[in-house]
Amino acid sequence: MSSQRENPEYFDREYLEKLQLEKLRQVLERVYHKVPFYREAFRAHKVRPENVKSLKDLEKFPFTTREDLRAGYPYGFLACSLSPLVRLHTSAGTTGKPKAVLFTQKDIAQAAQLITRCIRMTGARPEDVFQNMMSYGLFTGGLIFHYGAERAGLLVIPGGTGNTERQIEMMHDFKATIVHITPSYALYLAEVMERMGFSPRDDFSLRIAYLGAEPYSQATKGRIEEIFSLDAYDSYGLSEMNGPGVAFECKEKQGMHLWEDNFIMEIIDPETFEVRRNGEEGELVLSTINREAMPILRYRTGDLTHIYPEECRCGRVHRRISRIKGRVDDMFVLRGVNIFPSEVERVLMSLPEVGRNYQIVLERKGGLDHMKVRVEIKKKLFRGSLKDLKILQNKIKTKFKVELLVTPQVQLVEPATLPRTTGKAKRLIDKREI
């Protein structure tokens, strides 16, 4: 038992939950005394830190939302003074103020330790050469991951995003074995490699890819593994919770272990806010129990997933969450049918004729909503006959009708013609008036 307690990945459940409860109580006390937002919210909900006798009691406490964090910009959620702070990161906000996250030295060390845990779990070794192709700067995917990889003793190439040809040369020359990249950038990377005359499969030393920061389908993951001939692992996180390193796939690849010694997770019904149990799908809610500068309680991530109730074959105690289906607010409704962009991707990427990129355009004509899917197809097909293209177009339409109950207009386009991004992809264009 004592050796089990030394490695947090293999704690026994009972011990882990005891630890969670102890840390939770400490956090509640701290935020109650140090963060006016929480003090007021607790009072409004008539709850006090000392009311917490079991983990279930957390359910009586209020949620924290993205709007709360934005309203607290810049220092509203701080539970310490400015002097121990060493880092600021923000989450990519589309409009208005970003969500700012502040770190002490201890917070950075803790976040790095989680990354080290994640990458060791996938078999990364000190002799690996790791190219980090996530944006450095305010985005957490660059620096937070960088620190964890260095801590694990890997040789880190802080490539960042963009400058893709130069990055490919370095990846080739330094024989990078592991890459950290968004799935959409990975597909673009392959295109540029091919344009430069390289074979992504044969001319590089890559053996592992960490893919995350945006929703993507299992089919896309499979394609990336195939194109580069490597092993891909799903990596989940969000700036509000340190960035990457919240949940990560192990070698079993049956969901992502969410590090419960750092975060308490709940799944709620996004409409009624009731806690869902037994592996039902819902919105992921996270509370930090190991953060110094900015503890956050019951944060509504907006991400849809479910918990696998059964233990993982790898023996780690931390429960797993399923691939993120999408964000609650990414869902669009088309003539009464609820659709997630990730479902559109799943349908498209399961067809071998479909190329590497697509775009969803929503329009309103004559009071009716229409969905247009612009799909890049493989080069050799584009050179084929018009009849073949028509057949493919109908095949895609039928698949949508059967699987998603909608019939979009399908526009086939040439490979590499739709817009590319080196960071997170933006594939949904909603032109409907609200």
DSSP 49-103: GGG--SGGGGGGSPPB-HHHHHHTTTTTT-SS-STTEEEEEEE--SSSSPEEEEE
Identify which of residues 20 and 184 has a Cβ nearer to ligand DLL in the complex.
Answer: 184
Q: C-beta of 243: minimal distance to ligand DLL in Å? A: 4
Q: C-beta of 239: minimal distance to ligand DLL in Å? A: 3
**Residue number of the CB atom closest to ligand DLL:** 212
Going by C-alpha positions, the residue among 22, 32, 103, 84 that lies closest to residue 62 is 32
Does residue 243 bind ligand DLL (CB under 6 A)?
A: yes
Among 64, 113, 116, 239, binds ligand DLL (CB under 6 A): 239
Does residue 214 bind ligand DLL (CB under 6 A)?
A: yes
Site string for ligand DLL, 163-182 (x = CB under 6 A): --------------------
Phi-psi sector, 399: left (phi>0), alpha (psi -120 to 50), beta:
alpha
Does residue 262 bind ligand DLL (CB under 6 A)?
A: no
Q: C-beta of 108: minimal distance to ligand DLL in Å? A: 15
- Pick out residues in 308-347 that bind ligand DLL (CB under 6 A): 324, 327
Residues 381, 384, 388: CA angle, nearest 5 degrees: 85
One-letter amino acid of 391: I
Measured CA to CA, the distance from residue 242 to residue 112 in angstroms comes to 9
Stretch that binds ligand DLL, among 22-30, 49-57, 208-216, 403-411 (CB under 6 A): 208-216
Q: Find all residues with CB under 8 Å of 88, minimum gap 6, and list them.
A: 100, 101, 102, 103, 138
- Pick out residues in 368-407 that bind ligand DLL (CB under 6 A): none
Among 235, 262, 287, 288, binds ligand DLL (CB under 6 A): 235
Question: Cβ distance 39 to 33 under 8 Å?
Answer: yes
Q: C-beta of 182: minimal distance to ligand DLL in Å? A: 8
Residues 26, 295, 63: CA angle, nearest 5 degrees: 100
Stretch that binds ligand DLL, among 164-172, 229-237, 268-276, 376-384 (CB under 6 A): 229-237
Question: Cβ distance 360 to 409 under 8 Å?
Answer: no
Does residue 140 bind ligand DLL (CB under 6 A)?
A: yes
Does residue 267 bind ligand DLL (CB under 6 A)?
A: no
Only one residue has tokens 């009464």, namely 336
Which residues are registered as beta bridge partners of 305?
Answer: 282
Identify which of residues 49 and 98 has a Cβ nearer to ligand DLL in the complex.
Answer: 98
Backbone angles phi, psi at 391, to 5 degrees: -65, -45
Identify which of residues 148 and 212 has a Cβ nearer to ligand DLL in the complex.
Answer: 212
Q: C-beta of 33: minimal distance to ligand DLL in Å? A: 28
Q: C-beta of 391: minimal distance to ligand DLL in Å? A: 33
Q: C-beta of 417: minimal distance to ligand DLL in Å? A: 26
Identify which of residues 104 and 132 has a Cβ nearer to ligand DLL in the complex.
Answer: 132
How many Å separate Cα 89 from the centre of its chain? 16
Measured CA to CA in angstroms, residue 429 lies from 162, 351, 374, 375, 416 at distances of: 23, 22, 11, 14, 18
Identify which of residues 134 and 193 has a Cβ nearer to ligand DLL in the complex.
Answer: 134
Does residue 156 bind ligand DLL (CB under 6 A)?
A: no
Identify which of residues 24 and 181 has a Cβ nearer to ligand DLL in the complex.
Answer: 181
Measured CA to CA, the distance from residue 279 to residue 147 in angstroms comes to 33
Does residue 423 bind ligand DLL (CB under 6 A)?
A: no
Does residue 303 bind ligand DLL (CB under 6 A)?
A: yes
Sign of the Cα pseudo-torsion (283, 289, 293, 296, in order)? positive
Rg (CA), the chain: 23
Backbone angles phi, psi at 218, to 5 degrees: -60, -35
- Pick out residues in 23-62 that bind ligand DLL (CB under 6 A): none
Q: C-beta of 123: minimal distance to ligand DLL in Å? A: 18
Site string for ligand DLL, 109-138 (x = CB under 6 A): -------------------------x----
Residue ranges in contact with ligand DLL by CB under 6 A: 91-92, 134, 140-141, 212-215, 234-239, 243-244, 301, 303, 324, 327
